């Protein structure tokens, strides 16, 4: 590389990011060391300083490396650091920094949270950020942030949050288009009002009984886990929606008409039947429907789904192309009277793929009738996957039921597959 022009050397080395690689190159020659000024990104892995010789602290080493850069745009730090160290780093690179990712590691460290300024407060210096990602955050009090006008993406993973603190943090990011909160606990009531938000993923850890109110007219993708009460007022742009509650119950949903919705996923142990029926009613334009809800019931009692009319269901979802059906919903479609309203000329016009999960041989005749009806009336059906899961072999009708499924597969071998 000695024969290459300086501009080429600078261009090649500017694509380095791992701090150890940068440090190694820094020792090669004066020419290489001067070329590292043009680094765009620096990444400090978790173990960056595990075997570090010398007397400098890790905060100081990072500061020295950052002081050698002129236009750093991305900084990722997974190694341990202090609030004082973070403040000194951002004082060097705040004018050019666009992407910041930090492993805070203070979820349980209340003493570190009492530092003034805290690590969260120090981030306010990077006013030109476009992306901020934080891991292991304790946010008990509102962070002392000014408005991040340029911030488009905010991700917080593994956090202990209080409602006022989260509200203040979101209020400091009015132009967000992408919001991700994963593995967050402590929240009880979440209010999100972001006019430009397009993608939102929320995963609240705990008892699953928090409430969510979201007002985001540009929202296109929404994934919610751990909420019992959900209200989303403006949904004209919403195309992909996923609601799950693995720890609690879904009591209430309020979405209005979901005219643009293409994909809907409903998962959880127990949903109020009113919430399920409303979601199915509002999503009549959906193309992909995934349902894995085990029980209904408004209170503590776990109840099976009421009967769902086969013809009415598919007539009300004429654009449905892929249907993943598990547990109670499949049983509801397999009731004795579910197929009584089939009229001449009835078809399922757009259905191309069905995934059915079967766990019990009970009501075997109706289940087989439903599977056969999907094949008969789904004129464009290309694939049916029947998943046999944890079926009790001790039941007297298990073998007969499985034989019937195998027969169905043999008669429709180009379409049906058993897993």
Q: What is the pLDDT of residue 46?
A: 86
Residue range 159-204, pLDDT digits in tens: 999 999 999 999 999 999 999 999 999 999 999 999 999 999 999 9
Taking the C-alpha atoms of residue 340 and residue 311, their distance in angstroms, rounded to an integer, is 9
More confident residue, 114 or 159: 159
Assess whether pLDDT exceeds 70 at residue 24.
Answer: yes
Residue range 298-332, pLDDT digits in tens: 777 889 999 999 999 999 999 999 999 987 899 89
Assess whether pLDDT exceeds 60 at residue 240.
Answer: yes
Q: Whole-number mean pLDDT of the chain?
A: 89
Tokens of 230: 């959900």
Taken in order 202, 205, 206, 207, is the CA torsion positive or negative? positive
User: What average pLDDT does the segment 221-238 reach?
Assistant: 95
Taking the C-alpha atoms of residue 264 and residue 371, their distance in angstroms, rounded to an integer, is 22
Torsion (CA) 225, 229, 231, 237 in degrees, nearest 10: 30
pLDDT classification of 39: cutoffs 50, 70, 90: confident
Q: What is the pLDDT of residue 111?
A: 56
pLDDT classification of 206: cutoffs 50, 70, 90: confident
Residue range 370-382, pLDDT digits in tens: 999 999 999 999 9
Task: State phi, psi for 79 to the nearest 5 degrees.
Answer: -75, 155
Assess whether pLDDT exceeds 90 at residue 34.
Answer: no
pLDDT classification of 65: cutoffs 50, 70, 90: confident
More confident residue, 394 or 276: 276
Assess whether pLDDT exceeds 90 at residue 344.
Answer: no
Assess whether pLDDT exceeds 70 at residue 69.
Answer: yes
- What string of H, E and C letters represents the secondary structure of 307-368? CCCHHHHHHCCCCCCEEEECCHHHHHHCCCCCCCCCCCCCCCCCCCEEEEEECCCCCHHHHH
Q: What is the pLDDT of residue 36?
A: 72
Mean pLDDT lowest among 3-7, 29-33, 37-41, 114-118: 29-33
Taking the C-alpha atoms of residue 255 and residue 261, their distance in angstroms, rounded to an integer, is 11
User: What average pLDDT does the segment 115-132 reach?
Assistant: 91
Helix (H) or strand (E) holding 6: helix 6-13
pLDDT classification of 28: cutoffs 50, 70, 90: low
Q: What is the pLDDT of residue 265?
A: 97
Q: What is the pLDDT of residue 270?
A: 93
Assess whether pLDDT exceeds 90 at residue 54.
Answer: no
Mean pLDDT lowest among 47-56, 193-202, 261-270: 47-56
Per cent of the chain over pLDDT 90 is 64
Assess whether pLDDT exceeds 90 at residue 228.
Answer: yes
Mean pLDDT lowest among 4-13, 229-238, 251-260, 342-351: 4-13
Domain positions in the chain: 304-418
User: What average pLDDT does the segment 17-26 reach?
Assistant: 74
Q: What is the pLDDT of residue 397?
A: 75
Q: What is the pLDDT of residue 31?
A: 64
Beta carbons of 166 and 143 less than 8 angstroms apart: no
Assess whether pLDDT exceeds 70 at residue 53.
Answer: no
pLDDT classification of 266: cutoffs 50, 70, 90: very high
């Amino acid at each position: 590389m000695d024969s290459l022009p300086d501009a080429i050397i600078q261009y090649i080395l500017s694509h380095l990011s791992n701090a150890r690689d940068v440090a190694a190159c820094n020792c090669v020659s004066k020419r290489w060391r001067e070329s590292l000024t043009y680094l765009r990104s620096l990444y400090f892995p978790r173990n960056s300083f595990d075997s570090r010789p010398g007397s400098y602290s890790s905060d100081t080493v990072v500061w020295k490396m950052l002081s050698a850069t002129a236009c750093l745009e991305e900084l990722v730090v997974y190694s341990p650091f202090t609030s004082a160290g973070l403040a000194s780093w951002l004082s060097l690179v705040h004018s050019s920094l666009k992407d910041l990712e930090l492993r805070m590691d203070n979820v349980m460290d209340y003493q570190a949270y009492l530092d003034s300024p805290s690590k969260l407060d120090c981030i306010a210096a990077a006013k030109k950020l476009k992306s901020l990602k934080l891991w292991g955050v304790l946010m008990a009090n509102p962070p002392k942030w000014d408005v991040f006008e340029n911030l488009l993406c905010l991700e917080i993973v593994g956090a202990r949050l209080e409602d006022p603190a989260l509200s203040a943090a979101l209020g400091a990011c009015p132009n967000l288009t992408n919001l991700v909160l994963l593995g967050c606990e402590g929240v009880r009531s979440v209010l999100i009002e972001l006019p430009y938000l397009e993608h939102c993923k929320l995963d609240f850890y705990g008892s699953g009984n928090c409430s969510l109110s979201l007002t985001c007219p540009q929202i296109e993708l929404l994934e919610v886990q751990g909420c019992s009460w959900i209200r989303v007022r403006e949904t004209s742009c919403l195309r992909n929606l996923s609601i799950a509650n693995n720890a609690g119950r879904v009591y209430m949903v309020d979405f209005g008409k979901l005219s643009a919705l293409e994909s809907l996923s409903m998962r959880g142990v127990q949903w109020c039947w009113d919430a399920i029926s409303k979601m199915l009613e509002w999503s009549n334009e959906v193309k992909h429907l995934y349902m894995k809800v085990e029980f209904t019931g408004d209170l503590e009692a776990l109840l099976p789904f009421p009967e769902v009319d086969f013809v009415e269901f598919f007539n009300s979802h004429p654009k449905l192309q892929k249907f993943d059906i598990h547990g109670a919903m499949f049983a509801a479609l397999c009731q004795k009277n579910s197929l009584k309203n089939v009229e001449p000329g009835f078809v399922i016009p757009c259905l191309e793929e069905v995934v059915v999960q079967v766990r019990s041989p009970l009501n075997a005749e109706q289940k087989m009738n439903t599977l056969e009806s999907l094949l008969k009336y789904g004129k464009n059906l290309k694939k049916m996957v029947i998943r046999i899961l944890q079926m009790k072999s001790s039941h007297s009708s298990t073998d007969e039921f499985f034989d019937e499924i195998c027969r169905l597969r043999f008669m429709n071998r180009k379409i049906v597959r058993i897993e």
